[in-house]
Amino acid sequence: MKREWTPKAAKILVMVVGCVALVGVVVMSLWNALVPDIFGGTTISWVQALGLLLLARILAGGRGRTGWRGHRGWRERWNQREQAEVKATGC
């Protein structure tokens, strides 16, 4: 039995695009509400807000020390700790 991934992939794509759009609108709204009044800057567009988010992500180091595989490594570390505890207690 072959699974059909097209509907699931389409849902995920729509959700990702929706989240990116929403975050861009939030950043744009916050910038336009705060920066012109506080610092005398200009307002930005939605595309500029997305660019600002991308720049901040690059400057802040992306996903941190662990990289993209960091979420998989926790399981291995957890198993190693459990094995060490079993050996220490003898159970």
Q: What is the pLDDT of residues 23-82, one digit of tens each?
A: 999 999 999 999 999 999 999 999 999 999 999 888 887 665 555 555 667 778 888 888
Which sign, positive or negative, has the C-alpha torsion 44, 46, 47, 53? positive
pTM over 0.75: no
Average pLDDT of span 1-21: 85
Report whether 23 contacts 52 (CB < 8 A): no
> How many residues can be counted in the chain?
91
